[in-house]
A and B are shown apart, each in its own frame.
Chain A
Amino acid sequence: MRATIVYPSKKKYLWHAKIIMNLSDMEKRSLVTIADHSREKIEYLIQMAQEFEKHPNRHLLEGKVVATLFFEPSTRTRLSFETAANRLGARVIGFADPKVTSGTKGETLKDTIMMVSNYADIIVMRHYLEGAARYASEIAPVPIVNAGDGANQHPSQTMLDLYTIYQTQGTLDNLDIFLVGDLKYGRTVHSMLNAMYHFNPTFHFIAPEELAMPEMYKQFCRQHGIRYVEHTDFNADVISGADILYMTRVQRERFTDLMEYERVKDRYLLKLDMLSKARPNMKILHPLPRVNEIEYSIDDNPHAYYFEQARNGLYARQALLCDALGITLDEVRKDKSII
């Protein structure tokens, strides 16, 4: 049974509005990092995504132009955003290959953003430089949605992860979340810590020493009263207490010592027999692409949920686009443009 999400009270909303009053209207509608969002706002966006899951095809964004600027290629994220825009009736412009942009001629990011702002109602951007989306949100006269800025933030991935956790567990509160694999460089797991701290989670970090959760994130947990346990072993007993098993890929290129990589690479592979002691509600998530870290025979197991998770990216991104364009949950609920 799903828990009820309480709609943010007017009082809380006014408080939220007050603290962001010093931001420009576009800056506050932009999505740069999930850390900017309160618990209420995250719950609000989950409710909006639920509406889109029920009815993904609408004319809600008819007449709007969405620009997708991918200064760094990312097929999966771009297709998901463009599908979200298309299924809501918006038209999409943009580029998927940075080689075709004026950036190669020496144009600044500011100039590109200002130019595209003349044409589009909203800009979805992925950039290889960290902080690019924050900067764009400060200068652009239209809202910016961050589709990844280097190793820094990837809030739409986090939003779809949260939506999936909510969808499978019926709540975001008091969950045991196990993060496995590359916890040092994986921005999805770092964003997860930032987002989940509103919901009293217990984290388990399972990684080789070389890719352990960095100290600054463990410090973040301690400062915010988030419980965490670290493991280097990965077996049926360790994961038996998980509600969510969030797998990531151990990437060869991250290791300076390739002998070390060879030694640890197969220690973090999830095999079917390791699920024997799993809780019935446990779901396996993965931001994809996977290589071999989840055995293919698990795909048909009821614990596997990574393909559904990827599909949720559509609904989460539909909610993010609408929210950034100033469309409220109430308007989505009363929408008569459902196809």
Chain B
Amino acid sequence: MIADVPRRAPGSALEAQVRVISALFMRELLTRFGTSRLGYVWLIGEPMMLAVMISTVHWLSGSHLPNDLPTFLFYGMGYVPFMMFRSITSRGASAVTSNMSLLFHRSISLLDLMIARNLMEMMVCAAIVLLFILGGMLTVGEVPSDPALLILGLLLSALLGHGLAMVLGSVQVFLEFTERLVHPFTYILMPISATFYMVEYMPPEAREMLLWNPLVHVHEMNRWAMFGDRVVPHFDLGYVMIWVIGLNLVGMAGLRGARPRLSMSD
């Protein structure tokens, strides 16, 4: 029996990369959801509570959104993509420091850790978005006006979050205190990211300022994809792409520079 050792099948570099990421992905799935079922409930619970709360305030104050936009769906669909960006950023940024024991395996790179973790976060949040959309279709008969654009929008928030996570994660290796700044930073971003309003509702000077933020473009695009011509969106896809490419390149370079500085000594 002892002599009968399993043998490895040889494979290409790409296969090896996919293998490492899928192993990490499966592990991430187990550590995140394996122990408690409450995790799932809270994921859908948080955006639901928020959307219900804001809709209630709206209903009590007797105000309506323009063009009869469904309040609950408007806020829910505004918050979930932001939530995805935020959780990818904050969970991804800690991927390096909280997975040090995995770095004992030489084949695992920092980029692999990031991709596995963020891929899962993206899939989880995409499932929540799907639930919101299904809910909207069943209750108020709201069908997304451009589903393909909505998928692109979600992908872009995920990629922005992924890039920023890599940048923040590698900065933490050089300057440890920046770990504390990730959370406040994502909170500050919320009001200036057009999460709960449209740029169109703002005065012109404020619009200009807001449109520097790439997330604003993504959220505007998402709402247009969802509600069609009942909203007037302000977005520039090219501008978002520049941010996505920039953050991802800087992030990958940062991780590459950070790896030799990490020490596993206890």
User: Does B bind A?
Assistant: no
The interface of chain B, by Cβ under 8 A from chain A, is none
